[in-house]
Structure 1
Amino acid sequence: MKKPYYLQSGSTIAVVSPSWGGPATFPHIYQQGIDNLVSLGFNVKPYPTATMDADTLFQNPKVRADDINAAFLDPEIDAIIATIGGSDSARILKYLDLETISQNPKLYMGYSDSTCLTTTLNQSGIVTFNGPSVMAGLAQLHNFDDNYQTYLKAFLTTNPAKRMLPTFSHFCHGYPDWENTKHTGLCHSFIKSRGPQVLQGNTQVTGRLFGGCIEVLEMLKGTNYWPATNFWQQKVLFLETSQEKPSVEYIRYWLRNYGVMGVFEQLSALLIGRPRDYSEHEQLLLEETVLNVVKEEFNNDQLVVIANLDFGHTDPQVILPLGIQCQVDPQHGSITLVEKVFNDR
């Protein structure tokens, strides 16, 4: 895996819109996200797609890819962060210059529909980052507690040989109506978390992180951007659901497909993010379903499975670096990155 350099005060972050044109629709939310990045000590360079209107972006997938290609080549740019997710970034993949990108590794971060980018770029040989976007996660940063703000900056600007990912005592499901400018940068009320739920496993395991939004990964199955059969060996697969709130039965079907492909028997661990807008009853049903598919349907009773983790479409969320070796400890429900995430400067 080729690693980007870690950031430092004054580093320049390119902002791009590989999916939906959210900034043009809700410019106040976008600007709050930019302001929060600046408050962390970074410079921001919006690329043309960052604020392009949604219709133009949808009609021009190549333009979106062109911005990403250019940002990876731009010597002024230290990192690239998506403005927000969407539903069709799979359409831009054929326009990406993967060879050039792989020779110029930089921090690329996003989640949700950015799963198309993070998984494809990761398979081309670079570490990518499943984490908050400008409008969803970063725009609300000042509403999260100091521990999270400190964690986020430290993750991006330091490079320890080992780091345990934090867990957060409270979380929120999304944001108030963005059409009301009074809601700029706000989250819904915070809820006490049940914490990591170890569904199966007794022994520490290690493997390389890979994954993202489960619905987006469904768009890639059967395409040239889907991993090869033996790719899954000793991977720690992480999956999370979007704000569309797919039913538990659909998740059962999608997981069953992984089972048919023989993925579960190759993995070191399976991690499930806290599902957005699920009631506690629905969360418990989801956890029961995950375990039923893995253990009962496909006889993988030794695979470490942990659910209700702090990544995905609830806030605050940890950053998961695809391609980095991690240790999963089912005794404590903890995840520790056991190699440096970045290149040293």
Structure 2
Amino acid sequence: MEIVKPERLHIDDSVAIVSPSWGGPSVFPHIYELGIGLLQRWGLQVVEYPTARMAAAELAAKPQLRAADINRAFADPSIKAIIAAIGGDDSHRILPYLDAGIIAANPKILMGYSDTSTLHTFCQRLGLVTLHGPSVMAGFAQMAAMPDYAAHVKEMLFRPVAHYRYQPYAAYSDGYPDWRQEAKAGQVNEPRAHEGWRLLQGEGVVEGRLFGGCLDVFEGLQTSAFWPQDDFWNDRLLFLETSEEAPGPELVAEMLRGWGRQGIWQRIAGLMVGRAARYDDAAKLALDRVLVDVIGGEFGRRDMPIMSSMDVGHTDPQFVLPLGVRARLDCAAKSLELTESWLA
């Protein structure tokens, strides 16, 4: 499959904001507006599409409207990027209404995570590079409290390079203060020291094209016509992360077995797992054991590198990971590097 990269952003470019999942901006507009404000301070022209602030109940009832916004944003040549307002739990309902022809013909930056994993998968099957990263309300709205995070995201959007090496953040935050408390808007929960990535098994260096997203969301996608076919997984460097619902290690084990029954563990080059949100230390260790026991033991891939506790997913700060570009995972150095530019 030919890989198509979108163009990088420039000052004064127009960025579309859509709500492909939950109508969070209508419930917590003060959080949403903080995220919009940061994009504007970066010199971007924010274009709010009709679904962006639509009432949550109306949005939930009309997946066609959500899909129509995405189709229009891709079709509009003045729009250079599309950013999800926030995640949710039912973006799979919009997939039948997306126009694959329009989207494939108009590559541009698509950014979001969590439930936006469905849109990333849709675009990956078309060969488009998209960016797994923060949403307006969960990420951009809190970046004033995390300047290093803001610098990384801005660099990934505006300044692509031929090679990029990720470094673990020194600290991370798990969740936000109650968004109903407007006085705490834009804050994050108390930061915790990050002990670094953990190599659970494997050795050497592996390479592949990046793909991944939210494990919980993928569960609902696997039985649909929008799930990638077998050859899609060949030599992928896969990353997975669990949602803020914090599925327990036992449930994650069952999810991993479902991937194994599809033969995916036999096809990919390596696996990276994000820090699990709302897990205590004991649960994190139990999750590590599950990964090794299921993938290495039950499915016989003890040779495959598995790195856990990586800076991706439902804790902050998280990396922007470009899906579809080539990357290298070094077990000895515990490093992840992009080996090509991710934007044109």
TM-score bracket, normalised by the shorter chain, equals over 0.9
Query: How far off is 1:230 after superposition?
Result: 1.8
Structure 1, residues 37-65: CA drift from partner, whole Å, max 9, x if none? Answer: 11222111110100000011001000000
Q: Does 1:189 find its partner at 2:207?
A: no
Scaled by the length of structure 2, the TM-score of the pair is: 0.98
Deviation at 1:90, TM superposition (A): 0.2
Deviations 1:59-81 (A, max 9, x none): 10000000000001112111000
Question: Mean alpha-carbon deviation: is it higher for 219-228 or for 63-72?
Answer: 219-228
Whole-angstrom distance in 2 between the partners of 1:137 and 1:153 = 12
Q: Is the 8 A contact 1:202 1:331 kept in 2?
A: yes
Return the alpha-carbon distance in structure 1 between the equivalents of residues 130 and 302 of structure 2.
30
Name 1:112's counterpart in structure 2.
114
Q: How does 1:263-342 map to 2 (within 5 A)?
A: 263-342=264-343
* Aligned pairs for 1:37-56 within 5 A: 37-56=39-58
SS at match of 1:45: strand
2:248·2:283 contact (CA, 8 Å) conserved in 1? no
Partner of 1:242: 243
Following superposition of structure 1 onto structure 2, how do residues 140-219 of structure 1 map, counting pairs within 5 Å? 140-144=142-146, 146-219=147-220
Letter in 2 for 1:233: N
Is the 8 Å Cα contact of residues 196 and 333 (structure 1) preserved in structure 2?
yes
Mapped to 2, the partners of 1:4 and 1:260 lie a distance apart of 34
Contact 2:88–2:115 (Cα < 8 Å) also in 1: yes
Q: Partner of 2:97 in structure 1?
A: 95
Q: Aligned equivalents of 1:213 and 1:190: distance in 2? A: 23
Deviations 1:158-177 (A, max 9, x none): 12111012310100111010
Residue 76 of structure 2 aligns with which residue?
A: 74
**TM-score, with structure 1 as normaliser:** 0.98
The aligned length equals 342
SS at match of 1:50: coil
Q: Give deviations 1:71-128, integer Å, cap 9, x for gaps.
A: 0111211100000000000000000001110110000000000001011111112011
Q: Which residue of 2 aligns with 1:124?
A: 126
- In structure 1, runs of 5+ residues without a counterpart are none
RMSD: 0.8
Contact kept in structure 2, 1:4 and 1:106, CA below 8 Å: yes
Q: SS where residue 10 of structure 2 aligns? A: coil
1-structure distance, mates of 2:231, 2:4: 20
Partner of 2:137: 135
The answer to whether the Cα contact below 8 Å between 1:14 and 1:80 also exists between their aligned partners in 2 is yes
Q: Percent of counterpart pairs with the same letter?
A: 42
1:38 maps to amino acid: Q
Task: For 1:280, give the aligned amino acid.
Answer: D
C-alpha separation in 2, matches of 1:114 and 1:140: 19
Structure 2 portions without partners, runs of 5+:
none
Whole-angstrom distance in 1 between the partners of 2:68 and 2:167: 36
Distance 2:4 2:58 in 1: 33
SS at 1:48's partner residue? coil
1:325/1:339 contact within 8 Å kept? yes
Q: Match for 1:29 among 7, 20, 31?
A: 31
Residue equivalent to 1:6: 8
Contact 1:197–1:308 at 8 Å: present in 2 too?
yes
Quote the residue 1:85 is aligned against: 87
Counterpart of 2:212, as a letter, is G
The offset of 1:147, in angstroms, is 2.6
* SS of the residue 2:140 aligns to: coil
Q: Distance in 1 between matches of 2:23 and 2:294?
A: 37
3-state SS, counterpart of residue 20 of structure 2: coil
Shift of 1:14: 0.4
Tell me, what secondary structure is at the counterpart of 2:180?
A: coil
SS at match of 2:37: helix
Partners of 1:276 and 1:209 lie apart in 2 by 22
Secondary structure of 1:78's aligned partner: strand
1:31 partner SS: helix
The SS at the match of 2:87 is coil
* Equivalent-residue separation in structure 2 for 1:286 and 1:186 (angstroms): 28
**How far off its partner does 1:255 sit?**
0.3
